[in-house]
Amino acid sequence: MKFLDQCKIYIRSGDGGAGSSAFRREKFIEFGGPSGGDGGRGGNIVIEAVDNLNTLIDYRYQQHFKAQKGRGGAGKNRTGAHGEDIVLKVPVGTQVLADDQEEVLLDLTRAGERHTLLRGGDGGFGNAHYKTSTNQAPRRADLGWPGEERWIWLRLKLIADAGLVGLPNAGKSTLLAAVSHAKPKIADYPFTTLKPQLGVVKVDDEEFVLADLPGLIEGASEGVGLGHRFLGHLERCAVVLHLVDGTEEDVVASYKTIRKELKAYGNGLTGKPEIVGLNKIDAIPPEELKAKVQKLKRASKQPVLLLSGATSMGVRAAMATLLHTITERRAEQAEIARQKAMAAEAFT
């Protein structure tokens, strides 16, 4: 299945049906009176987050969605049928943005979450609605109200606990394949990974989701390489595992390049907890490895994990560190949410 994480679609809710102007014509009924029914409501445009999707590819081939119009009313006080709703099924983690791509209208983070994007137009009243003691034979019947329409953007941000970032060929896909059942494409040329990959990592009796993002290069914020397009998936991660290729001559420059691009992207990525891992240590002589670790420690101002995705050296310890950081981060977020809820309750 192809991966698509952003698309633009046109949506329109259904118009309401027209009311009817009619009078009773039954035999043996001396005074008939008005009997025109109301029109039916137009269909709504509804969006729903579902579990069994991980791409927006369905909206690549159909971009226009128009809900059914309401049926018109009829004689004998018959109300027109309501138009059928259109339900847009999207993956969990999808955001709905306005046409300007700036205003976030919805953020669907839970399976089963359902919202009405556009409400269908109300049906018009039939002449029976206007019957009064002083106006016993009204001939007024209203047209239905028009539906709403707009262009929106759908943007998918995969929900993962941890994200892998680094330069192309830093060994991210190899590491993901080593710690999970994911089967990303692995090759010895840059930009082998063209779309985010997810894998479930198990540490003892606990699990977390690890996302492998396509590699960044210098100038990504200006569109060089694959650009910043996939960094949105990193926004939902609790921690970032920054892999540095240990076989590079200047590991500090490699580290700073990625940090610079994360800062240029913004949205709080540089403020997320970061774990630095020096990868491919099996291919580095001990003396050279020691010097590179010291340089990377000074540049990142934190401990550096030593690992090799190809031989699994240090991988288990790195995953345990990730899980510990994820647990702490989620606990902090839960406490903040609890305090906000208590403050809101006290205010009301």
Instruction: List domains and CATH numbers for the chain.
Output: 1-156 (2.70.210.12), 162-340 (3.40.50.300)
Q: Per the structure block, which two tokens stand in for 310?
A: 């190809």
Q: Per the structure block, which two tokens stand in for 143?
A: 């047209």
Q: Which strand ranges, in their side-by-side order, compose the sheet holding 114-118?
A: 86-91, 45-50, 114-118
Nearest-5° angle of CA 206, CA 211, CA 212? 135
Phi, psi of 134 (to 5 degrees): -100, -10
pTM score, whole prediction: 0.77
pLDDT of residue 5: 83
Q: Which residue has the tokens 């030593």?
A: 306
The amino acid at residue 119 is: R
- CB 276 within 8 Å of CB 242: yes
pLDDT of residue 192: 65
Burial 28-39 (b: 16+ CB within 10 A, else e): eeeeeebbbbbb
The amino acid at residue 22 is: A
pLDDT of residue 226: 61
pLDDT of residue 2: 65
Looking at the chain, list the stretches that DSSP marks H as alpha helix, in order from N- to C-terminal side. 172-179, 251-265, 286-300, 315-347
Packing angle between helix 286-300 and helix 251-265, nearest 10 degrees? 30
Task: Quote the CA–CA distance of 280 and 277 in Å, as a whole number.
Answer: 10
Tens-digit pLDDT string for the chain (348 aa): 467 888 999 999 999 999 999 998 887 777 788 999 999 999 999 999 998 888 898 898 899 999 999 999 999 999 999 999 999 999 998 999 999 988 999 999 899 999 999 999 999 999 999 999 899 899 999 999 999 999 999 999 888 889 898 888 888 888 998 888 878 777 666 666 777 888 889 888 888 889 888 888 777 666 666 667 778 888 888 899 999 998 888 999 999 998 998 888 888 888 889 999 999 998 889 899 999 999 999 999 999 999 998 888 999 999 999 999 999 888 888 888 888 888 878 776
Cβ-proximal residues to 39 (8 Å cutoff; 6+ apart), any chain: 16, 17, 18, 19, 20, 70, 71, 72, 73, 79, 80, 123, 124, 125, 126, 142, 143, 144
